Structure 1
């Protein structure tokens, strides 16, 4: 790396995709119950990251031929990469979330190595670390490995073995059994008026998406018309989780594997225009919910013959449905970009890190008030993706786009990215306690970067027998964002109760 190291195709692509409202920066967080000895922490970081990986001492430079290279900076100062912060009183979740949200739109200085760590004192009487690194440095799996490499397996400082990410197991969302409470005629009238107002606003977005995402526009129009008509037939279809018509979106949604991949790329996804559709701003919001016991998730998954991953993703769909219902928004389906690693896992971490993943598009139903039915739909769509070659095809598309002119590939990336509301990641972390500078790590969280006008980064992270859920959202387009992560826990409780009731 002394002569420079060329960036890979994907690395260079992410480097070019920063925009004021959405930066290509991965934000990782961990916290401890007791204060961290920062000198000891920095010593471990210097030894295990700074000294080992040249990219952490390098800057991204564009050479005369137009290619991007990592060039090591002999005078780079390790201490300049750290910022020390005392959290505002009372030092709880809300204060740390506000701090992280304020960092989401702060770009990393391109004349310096593209990472920074914010050392936080006073979080619930302990400490926290927000580690920010540009996506051009490495993909999500390697970022997790890098973070774990700073940790130890015991308080005395025995180095962590960098646990190998395991295949996620199946988990199920919970939905309260029983029928919803009856509503008064006045509340129904109020809801109808509110829905009509919402539909009027969404229709403005619909006109634009007719060109950029034909399937999504058609699906949105169908959802809007069904909502306004409010027919018994429409309600029956919603309960069954199917469109129930031989129309274009319905037909194409059933096409398996590779044909479905082509449909998503050429015609678009079922990503309905709704409450959060619009231009993103520079005001962001962060939230996470209390952890869920992983054993409970496994048990519920087993009882439903589902994988943990399928169940967790179904909980995401249920939480979005509840949020949209609370905001009286019309939406039957949303699409997420889901990262898929394309290289075998390397526990040793190569010196040249980089990116080797694709983004597949997962369409989630948001119109089924039954978590078991939601799980069935999610599992079917996940299986269809697994059977096809969507990840490989999408990686090839990214390679083609990266070789276009800057203006053309920016437009292409925006076109594809705006067919999803954001990025959904499920990270199976180590299931044993880890330590940093002698202190036990109580929890971990992270948020993938977004691009174009994507509005949400949703993360599921399991660690030490617990499942943590967090969201980073555009504050203007996603008001009351904390309702979404709270809804995730509610969805799991509903599914657990419904599963037990059906088993009994």
Structure 2
């Protein structure tokens, strides 16, 4: 890389999307059961990241109508790190609180846009939180960068640059329950009342399909309540839903872009704050997810997405709220996987909008809807079209640019990403890496970042959520495992 290099269109897009409640920061985490020798770890990261990739020694500068990376004279590698000791008892809750406290802390733009926190005392071992601005690279390249400091064996004989993976793609891998203590009290999500009409009125302008879907869902639910005198399973009006479901993929893409998505207005709809929460789960064996997918003639992605839909449904019902459909932005890699990881890094992905059904209590029925909608996305050209739209947005000026970004982002509840990582264990300066997790950034008023991460034959689930919009957030992660086990129990007789 020359002393100065212009940022790509997408890189500049993410650079200008920071706002106080949602920063464009990719947070990556890994942990070991044994303490890490930090001096050795610094040597490895200096050699494999700092020395190899100029962007880690560069700052962003504005010139004319563009942004540039410019190497910072005298940039100090050691200034990009800090070391902390977790408070007792040094468990998941303490590390999650540390990460959450950093989630809305911006990086100094007069310095390179990354920072690492070395954590001592996590379950008697160590952890590393690596934060980098999205302008540096997209999710798959961030994963490759993280993996480049790992080795395939404890002796670290062979530097590991990049692990073969499928990229920053549509979801695929399983989760389990969080070890964070769950509160026994629940906080009501105010779906009814004065706030809902205002949100519906705003949604009618920004997301017409979503507003209409919410109104129809609310009407159907109220009618059902009058008939039964009690809360029952919510059902989407089948006429509109089935008609939209039959639209071919490319026409469906146009519908999402022009008219909006089926993203119901509910308790997590509203302005985000600067107080975030983090949680993750113990792992689920990948072989169990694969077996469940095989038994239902589905993909691993389909099974995991179904579990996401089911846990969101259970969470909302448990808080007295309703929602028939939730839309997520899902990153899709647009370039073939490059194990050499060129030094320029950068971004090359699109965000497709996946509408998950939350109106069915039966997970197998939900699976059928998920499989159909995923099929339309795969057969269509939504990723390429959305990438082009992002490029157009990046060339809009000032306020118009921000309005366009917020318009599209607020048609989704957040970002749902899957990272299929290495299937074999990795080591960092001789210590086995026990687990990995990461959280993509969200923008506008998106309330959640949901991650599914597979590593060493296990699948982890992680959630970053806005505390004000998603109270009792840990219940969503815990509910994922419950949904998975329930689908197993319903599938088992068929598999036999």
Cα 1:195–1:443, aligned 2, differ >3 Å: closer, same or farther? closer
1:37-72 C-alpha deviation (Å, 9 max, x unpaired)? 001111100000000000000001001x22100001
Query: Could you say what the CA RMSD is over the residues aligned between the two structures, in angstroms?
Result: 2.2
The DSSP-based 3-state class of the residue aligned with 1:153 is coil
* Unmatched segments (≥5 aa) in structure 1: 175-193
User: Within 2, Cα distance between the matches of 1:132 and 1:67?
Assistant: 24
How far has the Cα of 1:90 moved from its partner?
Answer: 0.7
How far has the Cα of 1:252 moved from its partner?
Answer: 2.8
Please name the residue that 2:179 is paired with. none
Please name the residue that 1:185 is paired with. none
Please name the residue that 1:132 is paired with. 131
Please name the residue that 2:140 is paired with. 141
The DSSP-based 3-state class of the residue aligned with 2:197 is helix
Is 2:351 the partner of 1:379? no
- On the 8 A contact 1:169/1:298 being kept in 2, the answer is no
TM-score (norm 2): 0.93
User: Within 1, Cα distance between the matches of 2:312 and 2:227?
Assistant: 23
1:335-388 C-alpha deviation (Å, 9 max, x unpaired)? 000000001110000110000000000000111101111111111000000111
How far has the Cα of 1:407 moved from its partner?
Answer: 1.1
- On the 8 A contact 2:113/2:133 being kept in 1, the answer is yes
* Unmatched segments (≥5 aa) in structure 2: 177-187
User: Within 1, Cα distance between the matches of 2:251 and 2:9?
Assistant: 26
- On the 8 A contact 1:172/1:496 being kept in 2, the answer is no
Please name the residue that 1:438 is paired with. 430
The DSSP-based 3-state class of the residue aligned with 1:230 is helix
Please name the residue that 1:255 is paired with. 247
The DSSP-based 3-state class of the residue aligned with 1:290 is coil
Please name the residue that 1:86 is paired with. 85
- On the 8 A contact 1:34/1:126 being kept in 2, the answer is yes
Of stretches 469-478 and 402-411 in structure 1, the one that deviates more from structure 2 is 402-411
- On the 8 A contact 1:27/1:131 being kept in 2, the answer is yes
- On the 8 A contact 2:171/2:452 being kept in 1, the answer is no
User: Within 2, Cα distance between the matches of 1:45 and 1:172?
Assistant: 30
Is 2:244 the partner of 1:244? no
Match of 1:390 among 379, 382, 393: 382
How far has the Cα of 1:200 moved from its partner?
Answer: 4.6
- On the 8 A contact 2:173/2:459 being kept in 1, the answer is no
Please name the residue that 1:58 is paired with. 58
1:16-41 C-alpha deviation (Å, 9 max, x unpaired)? 00000000000000000010000111
Please name the residue that 2:352 is paired with. 360
Is 2:17 the partner of 1:17? yes
Please name the residue that 1:97 is paired with. 96
User: Within 1, Cα distance between the matches of 2:465 and 2:296?
Assistant: 31
- On the 8 A contact 1:337/1:420 being kept in 2, the answer is yes
How far has the Cα of 1:169 moved from its partner?
Answer: 9.4
User: Within 2, Cα distance between the matches of 1:89 and 1:161?
Assistant: 35
- On the 8 A contact 1:205/1:273 being kept in 2, the answer is yes
How far has the Cα of 1:226 moved from its partner?
Answer: 1.3
The DSSP-based 3-state class of the residue aligned with 1:60 is strand
User: Within 2, Cα distance between the matches of 1:172 and 1:163?
Assistant: 20
Is 2:325 the partner of 1:322? no
Matches within 5 A, 1:150-189: 150-158=149-157, 159-160=159-160, 162-166=162-166
Please name the residue that 1:32 is paired with. 32
1:3-22 C-alpha deviation (Å, 9 max, x unpaired)? 31110000000000000000
